[in-house]
Structure 1
Amino acid sequence: MNLFKRAWWRLTAHPGKSLMLVGLFFVICTLVLSGFLIRSAAARAADAAKERVGAVATMQLDVNGLLASGKGQKPEGQQGGVIGSEGDLRRSLVDKICESSVVASCNYSTDGGAFPTKSGKLHQPVPPPAGQDSTGTDLFSVSGIRDLDAVKEFRNGDSRLIAGRGITPDSKPDEIVVEERVAKDNHLKVGGVLKLKVGELPGPGQKPDTTEHPFKVVGIYKNSTADTGSYLPAMVDPANRLYATPDGGSVLMGKGDRGTALSSATFTLKDPADLDRLRDDARAAGADLKIFPITVNDKQYKALVGPITRTAGFATVTVWLVALAGTVILALIVASSLRERRKELGILLSLGEKKPRLLGQHLVEVVACALLAVGLAGACSGLLSQTIGDKLLAGEVSSARQDADDSTPEADYSNSTPGGPSPKEDGPEPISSLDIRLTAADIGRVGATGLGIAALATLVPGSRVLRLNPRDILTKGD
């Protein structure tokens, strides 16, 4: 007799046991499919976060590495060490690294100062106290930047252009952007000229550099920080912050004759995992990574995907545990069923039925229940996955925010602009929602998992059938 017919008769003759198998498979397949859906949603969210945030790698001078290489002069006694030209990060080198295929965007900057001139006075409404030496602080703060729009003060609204335009990668070396109060004090307008002197103090026995470098004012901005009404060193007053090109900033650092020297460079990677490739490309471009190491701060990416990654990890563990537990439980049920059906097996064997076909009949019965359960699970898992995933993720997000509140604030060196982190900039909000999508691939995977469980749970205990003969089954009842 056809084993498929016998399987059908068995299932319809014992609807209670058939429904029990369908129910068990439904629970298993629903939980497994929910785990797959949560993992898939987490992977999509992580990929989206990579594209949105990426990872920012920072390249800047390591003084200890320079001294260890023998290219810098170590301090002797009370004399300071000399960094020299070997400690300059050249823009020409950085531009080559920016061409790497793993770099989505790059930025670089110089940090320095500039001494005022008769035509370029500081904004200092309150003079320094009598007797205080302010020689080292009475100067402009100059940031040589590649793109003014990338400066964090302009991104978060602390500063905004009110006239002219900002610094761009196409700006000329002598262009500069000044704050509104400095512009008023010096009667400057867009198109005017601001003369500045190199903001480096002379060494012992050296004369100060009195050369005045003219800069064309191409933009005027306004900073939201008002005057305090008390004395503030000019260099730390936001009104005295000037934005120049990297070339202009290098000139005011006294390094204009040696090419454009940068304070730091940042590279936004397309994928946080591409750091090693970036380093290889930097070496190929001629960079000495012992002197100018490249470090990555993927803090934003981790903050975004941390909770959802942990949720996906929990879902993965759940899939394995459910699959293992389901296999064991189903195997016990099949073994119990085989014992109950020992007379049926003995009669069929005595009539000449082959043992593999008997085992195949049980497999067909279990697989039929599994297929029905997979269909039901596909209809119900979407809503269940969304509910379970959102609750798990909400717990992880709450925990992540609590950890962030309890942690000690630290500087975010992934910032591509000078001046350190802004106290008004909050960290990135973790991903707090899942985009559950049920696809044919997910149904296929859970179907394969369900069929695999059915096969293991049937073949392992059912292999005993292959070792029996009709006489033993019918006479010994085992």
Structure 2
Amino acid sequence: MDFIRRAWISIWAKKPKHFLLMLLIFIIFMFIFIGFAIQDATTKSLDSARKQLGADVSLVVNQKKLMEDAQNGKSIDSIPSLSEEDVQKIANLKQVKEYQMIVDGAAMKGDLTPVKSSSKNSSDSSTMFETTDSSEMPSFVVEGVRESKLETDFVNKDNKLIEGEPITAKDTEPSALIEKSFAEKNKLKVGDTFKLKNEKNKEVSFKVKGIYETSKTVDSQLAAFEIMHPSNKIIVNYKAAEAFGSGGITSATFSLKDPNMINSFISEAQKLTTADDDGYYKFDAKDDAYEQLIGPIQQVGSFSSVIVAITMIAGGLILGLIVLLSIRERKFEMGVLMSLGESKAKIICQFLVEMLIVAVLAFTISVFVAGPAGQAVSDYMVDNQIEKSKEEKQSNQSSSMSFSIGEETTQKTYEPIDKIDVELSSSVLQKVSLLGGLTILLATLIPSLFILRLKPKMLFAQKD
């Protein structure tokens, strides 16, 4: 193992030269560390964003497609309803934990008394919108559900069941959950029955299974319409709601076991239904909200990949060139060693040991410095991307303002993730050590093989 001793002697004898070499390797390791650490932090942030949005995927009407058809003069009255059979097939996929079916409908006033807003503005607005003919406007929203606990307002805790029991998939007879103010207005309690009248004047009897309380409010002008008042929403089992809607399922929501299963679920689910073939239905995994959250950090993650690639290529070439020049300066040393019977393999091993000793020192220092440096770099990059996205958003809003009429304005907006936590995990350490070691190995071996193909006599002759 004499070549190891010679490697230590060479390093000690040429300390300034090896210090500069260590500085170069340190910079290479630093950039690779920063690139991989930011990639790792970005991946974790993407997973966190998806978990924040939940693991729900909805099969809903494509409003954009409807607007396009309406602008083109096409009829949108004959949109097919979702097939319960298709929904059941999708619900049987291994990724699904539970699912919900929704039937949207409306009911006339009949013998019931709707809850009205008490504000003066709404009373004035109500008078303004009264119809002059004999037609009757619906007074109640009828929402059919498979499981009331999965209904959006209950999940968001805008509604709270205060009496009775929730609606479940086992309910076959017409059952309903009514709001507290509506129940008091019509003197209804759990176990009572009431009748709802559809647009065809057909009445359906419902049994009050539960009473809920809502915290939702609407604008006073909207509350002037009885059907828009939150207390006039009646939640029923989806089979009973079909008489008050288009006659079929309006949408379905599937709660998955893991947010990371969303892509595979959508891919498999699309093969089980023809509902989205014509573009009138789509699988919605809150992709717009997801893009709002991850937009800036996604750009940062892509840029960090470029950093790693450039560092590997440029750093490897520069390091290889330095090693080549260093070895050329040591032709006489190599000629003496080979004349004394030292094998070429051991001479190459000596060069490798020298590089590895320097590389280990550089790697150790970079481990302590890369974390804070990577965090500073990521903060700067994320802030820069957020500023760019804000400018683009403002530009898009000003240029597309004329096309915003009729679009949904109640969609929740999300602030983009403005910070990623950079840390050197074990996986990052493994990747950097592997790629860094491979770079140093190639940068040492290739020049060494090029020089050591010469004979000792030729090395002595070329020592100058």
1:366 offset after TM fit, Å?
A: 1.1
Counterpart mapping for 1:290-369 below 5 A: 290=277, 293-297=281-285, 298-369=287-358
Does residue 459 in structure 1 map to residue 445 in structure 2? Answer: yes
Q: CA offsets per residue over residues 38-91 of structure 1, 9 Å max, x none?
A: 22222223233334435654435789x9xxxxxxxxxxxxxx89859xx34343
Q: CA offsets per residue over residues 116-144 of structure 1, 9 Å max, x none?
A: 222x1334575656762372524322111
Counterpart mapping for 1:433-472 below 5 A: 433-472=419-458
Q: CA offsets per residue over residues 424-474 of structure 1, 9 Å max, x none?
A: x63233333334443444323222222212122222222331232233332
Identity of aligned residues (%): 27
Q: Is the 8 A contact 1:311 1:389 kept in 2?
A: yes
Q: 1:236 aligns with which of 228, 238, 254?
A: 228
1:235 offset after TM fit, Å?
A: 2.9
Long gaps (5+) in structure 1: 66-79, 201-207, 256-260, 410-419
SS in 1 for 2:452: helix
Q: Is the 8 A contact 2:37 2:424 kept in 1?
A: yes
Change in Cα spacing, 1:325 to 1:133, as seen in structure 2 (3 Å) is same
TM-score by length of 2: 0.80
Long gaps (5+) in structure 2: 66-74, 118-122, 399-406
Match of 2:251 in 1: 264
The structure with the greater share of residues assigned to helix is 2
Does residue 373 in structure 1 map to residue 362 in structure 2? Answer: yes
Q: Is the 8 A contact 2:107 2:196 kept in 1?
A: yes
Counterpart mapping for 1:193-272 below 5 A: 193-198=193-198, 200=199, 208-216=200-208, 218-222=210-214, 224-225=216-217, 228=220, 232-253=224-245, 255=247, 261-269=248-256, 270=258, 271-272=261-262
Match of 1:76 in 2: none
Q: Is the 8 A contact 2:38 2:304 kept in 1?
A: yes
User: Is 157-166 or 443-452 further displaced after alignment?
Assistant: 157-166
Change in Cα spacing, 1:437 to 1:179, as seen in structure 2 (3 Å) is same
Change in Cα spacing, 1:355 to 1:104, as seen in structure 2 (3 Å) is same
Equivalent residues, number: 433
Q: Distance in 2 between matches of 1:132 and 1:226?
A: 26
Match of 2:38 in 1: 38
Q: Distance in 2 between matches of 1:446 and 1:184?
A: 68
Match of 1:477 in 2: 463
Match of 2:72 in 1: none
1:311 offset after TM fit, Å?
A: 1.8
Q: Distance in 2 between matches of 1:15 and 1:450?
A: 22
Q: Distance in 2 between matches of 1:179 and 1:367?
A: 74
Q: Is the 8 A contact 1:178 1:219 kept in 2?
A: yes
Q: CA RMSD in A?
A: 3.6
Q: CA offsets per residue over residues 101-125 of structure 1, 9 Å max, x none?
A: 122443221111112222x133457
Q: 1:273 aligns with which of 259, 263, 286?
A: 263
Change in Cα spacing, 1:183 to 1:295, as seen in structure 2 (3 Å) is same
1:477 offset after TM fit, Å?
A: 3.4
TM-score by length of 1: 0.77
SS in 2 for 1:467: coil
